[in-house]
Structure 1
Amino acid sequence: MTLRSALLASLLLLGATPARAAGRTPYGGELRLAHTGPATPAVPALADTPLEATLLGLVSRSVCQLTPEGQAAPALALSMSRPFPQVVRLVLPSPAQAQALVQAWARLSSPEETSPYRALLFPLRDEGRRISATGDTLELTLAFPWPDQERALCHPTLAPPRSSAAALGPFSYSTATAQTLDARLSWPPGRPYLDTLRARATDERGLARLLSTHGTQVALGVPPDPGSGTGAALYATYLAWSPRRVPAEFRQAVENALDREDLTRLFVRGPAEPMPHLLPAALMPKAAGPRPPRPPAPSGGRQVTLLHDADNEDQRAVAERLQVKLHDQGYTVALTALPRAELRARWAKGDYELMLHSLLLPPVPGPALAVVLDAAGRKDLLGVELPRIGALPDAAARDARVRERALVLAPSLPLLPLYAQGLALRAEPEVGGLVFDAQGLPVLEGVWLTPAPAAGGSGGRR
């Protein structure tokens, strides 16, 4: 099934217009899009907020995309197949794109750009470091059974960098301006319905003004309310620490000081929800357990440094709150804001005492657990846990196994889950076909425009 046909089926379930259902949706038109993200995000592994991943995905997409139902459908790849049980075959549009994709994946494990998203390639033989392209074809050999590999490959961070000549998405930047994107007529799953998308970066105040004056047709990054649509909350934030530099009782001190409900409600912009377990509620819908008893304060106090993302205002607010709460537990916390690239580099070297780590988790429990274990500095556990999970042929059994292991492993990891966020948007009534994929990202290439009704307010489609 192609991405276009999968989206057609999902839109019919979501109440598409009769013209859409009959296949008569018109092509063409220009969509005005406003957002609160960077104008042109570049590197997929670092542009991993839901908003950044959405914007980057307009011009650079991974080999596949997850449909709203969670199935992998080809995107950059022309086709995906399993000629053998432990071989995934990808056919790319050209040999150059196949080779560029290999290089992009190799960078995830390179000393310069090590990323926790490399865990998505761990089930491949040699962890994907020795993939070679034969013409326009990649054959990915699995080191052990891993039925979820295709869906893991759909993750936005596995797309080629925007600057790469092999980057390909449903739109391309106009030669006139980077704010104008033109429909790519040769996009493998089928050209977008829109002719042009005009993107405008602004702040929250500017976004509110554009909405109130109907100056934009789609607004990304709005506060959630009854008129907005919201994607799955899979952008998870953790507090990580180095066991070599922080005392053993630190976890208990944080758990005792932390109120995730208050943290999420007062210091984190929505849509957001507390995350009491290792995976977000979308992947691990279980009730929170009892809070641990109050630990004694460290004798004589303890000074630590907490690193956070300088480009993430929510992390800054959470870091300041943790600074106050940990002071009551005997910790003096110094805050240091770093660019995301430097923050990830410090993580890769283990050069930190405390750090806030935000990750866009896949909407599949097994690959999501792999990313979290790697982010926790326990890459060694991947070779123990993933083969046992992948050996279960039934998807429901694999997911249940992941949730069980996440509960068991969580207390031993130097990483504490805090909250998970999604992306909210608002759309004018003339915008049709706007849905979220399973990753929680809006599928803008499926949008079409209809004449605006004579009266009525704006709203969002789920």
Structure 2
Amino acid sequence: MTLRHALASLLLLGAMPSLAAGRVPYGGELRVAHTGPAEPGEPALADSPTEATVLGLLSRPPCHLTPNGHLSPALARELSRPAAQVVRLGLPSAAQAAALVRAWARLTGSEAPSPYRALLFPLRGEGRQLSATGDTLELALAFPWPDLERALCHPALAPPRSVPAALGPFSATGANTVEARLAWSQGRPYVDRLRLTPTDERGLSRLWSTQEAQVALGVLADSGTASGTALYATYLAWSPRRVPPDFRQAVESALDRDDLTRLFVRGPAVPMPHLLPPALLPQAAGPRPSPPPAQAGRKVTLLYDAGSEDQRAVAERLQVRLHDRGYAVALERLPRAELRARWARGDYELMLHSLLLPPVPGPALAVVLDAAGRKDLLGVELPRIGALPDAAARDARVRERALALASSVPLLPLYAQGLALRAAPEVGGLVFDAQGLPVLDGAWLQPTVPGVPGARR
């Protein structure tokens, strides 16, 4: 029995003493409705909390982080440090090792570069020269980075689900149906299958009210929902070459993050006054600056994600608020892949950029600095952070540097979001991981009472 199964059994034993020996029941079909697409894209682009959750059923990164920071293998069967600056990953097969190398090469290469490549920056050559020896990857670090293992748990570092070597707790068996993988390294999921129904907000409400869904992912947060940590952070990025020097001051003076988050962003969401979300940098916002002298006639284009209603609403709000500062803002919606490609080329004036940040301050700051177009800072900041052996000291150093660097990067933090869900009474064992994502392979269905239709023990 795995640690996850043992803990789940103990939880159930306290809640359901009538089950023999406190064992969690196996079997059944769990009906899950969600607001993500029917086919999530590759991991670096399927990075909203809902998409990352659904994709994670079929493809996992090397490891998994629990809310208390405990690290366990996921795709990898073993993680070790044979030397101070070498991390060894043992994969289930040579095919999985090769698939992971190819997936990471896409992040750092010219084909589809991603800000998540910053998670691999501490590796020698930024991971571009990785090669697998059979089923083993040796990751050599260019400088001390004690947080590498935890960074490798990020969902963007999983292989794409389209490759045969992708591996998760479930396998796809039909349209919107996944079956439990009996040989999953962390123990087979409790339910036999998940029936997944992609829908919109209205459809989610209907499916829940008619009891056609037992779990609803992406619901509005209220007293009846559970939520994960808010780490899906949205920023306003700009090209310093294409806007006036006082642009940051103009936006900061016009923007009320509390109103923006409360009125225009789907919850659960929190205002984000600093480069890292409040979960990683819990410090109050400073005073808003006074507006710069207004100069009419400044024309700029703001790019945003066509698949995000929140980004659309925020873009329209920024359009109104910046008009008062003399900016005529044209809005352009783009598919996420094209939005990231424009980011990689530096081909934008203004852009809304949403990122699923790691639950660890150091790797999170690395992703943010790269997204801001300041990859040059990684080679300066990360070695100094990694040189601190104590985790608390490293985290404190990261928070200090995030505050110090905020005014020097062309990136304005706006808000951070989490994922809220509803679960029917018969669903047990649903918990969130450190990334703020629900662990669906740990859920179970409580058995019915014989002879009493609809009754549960």
TM-score scaled to structure 1, two decimals?
0.95
Match of 1:350 in 2: 346
SS in 1 for 2:278: coil
The amino acid across from 1:393 in the alignment is P
For residue 187 of structure 2, the aligned residue among 190, 199, 208 is 190
Q: CA deviation at 1:65?
A: 1.0
Distance 1:20 1:387 in 2: 53
Question: For structure 1, which segment, 25-34 or 399-408, has the greater mean C-alpha deviation from structure 2 after superposition?
Answer: 25-34
SS in 1 for 2:207: helix
Contact 2:224–2:422 (CA<8 Å) still a contact in 1? yes
TM-score scaled to structure 2, two decimals?
0.96
The amino acid across from 1:115 in the alignment is S
Q: Give a deviation string over 1:20-57, Cα, whole Å, max 9, x none.
A: 89551121111011111101213000000000000000
For residue 200 of structure 1, the aligned residue among 163, 174, 197 is 197
The amino acid across from 2:251 in the alignment is V
Count matched residues: 453
For residue 5 of structure 1, the aligned residue among 3, 6, 15 is 3
Residues 1:248 and 1:424: Cα distance change in structure 2 (over 3 Å)? same
Match of 2:382 in 1: 386
Contact 1:91–1:136 (CA<8 Å) still a contact in 2? yes
For residue 273 of structure 1, the aligned residue among 270, 273, 293 is 270
Match of 2:178 in 1: 181
1:371 aligns with 2:370: no
The amino acid across from 1:222 in the alignment is V
Identity over the aligned pairs, expressed in percent?
A: 76
Contact 2:230–2:279 (CA<8 Å) still a contact in 1? yes
Question: For structure 1, which segment, 307-316 or 19-28, has the greater mean C-alpha deviation from structure 2 after superposition?
Answer: 19-28
RMSD: 2.0
The amino acid across from 1:51 in the alignment is T
Contact 1:107–1:114 (CA<8 Å) still a contact in 2? yes
Residues 1:52 and 1:143: Cα distance change in structure 2 (over 3 Å)? same
Match of 1:287 in 2: 284
SS in 1 for 2:108: coil
Residues 1:29 and 1:6: Cα distance change in structure 2 (over 3 Å)? closer
Residues 1:116 and 1:320: Cα distance change in structure 2 (over 3 Å)? same
The amino acid across from 1:110 in the alignment is G
Distance 1:455 1:173 in 2: 31
Distance 1:235 1:217 in 2: 25
Q: Specify every segment of 5 or more residues in structure 2 that has no aligned partner in the other structure, as ranges.
A: none
Distance 1:10 1:266 in 2: 38
Q: CA deviation at 1:8?
A: 4.4
1:247 aligns with 2:244: yes
The amino acid across from 1:266 in the alignment is L
The amino acid across from 2:280 in the alignment is L
Match of 2:317 in 1: 321
The amino acid across from 2:106 in the alignment is R
Matches within 5 A, 1:77-156: 77-156=76-155
Residues 1:160 and 1:308: Cα distance change in structure 2 (over 3 Å)? same
For residue 446 of structure 1, the aligned residue among 437, 442, 446 is 442
Match of 1:310 in 2: 306
For residue 213 of structure 1, the aligned residue among 200, 210, 225 is 210
For residue 359 of structure 1, the aligned residue among 335, 351, 355 is 355
Contact 1:62–1:75 (CA<8 Å) still a contact in 2? yes
The amino acid across from 1:258 in the alignment is L
Distance 2:244 2:51 in 1: 36
Q: CA deviation at 1:102?
A: 0.3
Q: Give a deviation string over 1:289-318, Cα, whole Å, max 9, x none.
A: 1111221112x4200000000111100000
Contact 1:11–1:435 (CA<8 Å) still a contact in 2? no
Match of 1:460 in 2: none
Residues 1:305 and 1:204: Cα distance change in structure 2 (over 3 Å)? same
1:61 aligns with 2:57: no
The amino acid across from 1:225 in the alignment is D
SS in 2 for 1:297: coil
Distance 2:359 2:8 in 1: 17
Distance 1:21 1:116 in 2: 49
Matches within 5 A, 1:14-93: 17-18=16-17, 24-93=23-92
Residues 1:65 and 1:21: Cα distance change in structure 2 (over 3 Å)? farther
Q: CA deviation at 1:215?
A: 1.1
Distance 2:274 2:206 in 1: 38
Match of 1:399 in 2: 395
Q: CA deviation at 1:432?
A: 0.6
Contact 1:70–1:437 (CA<8 Å) still a contact in 2? no
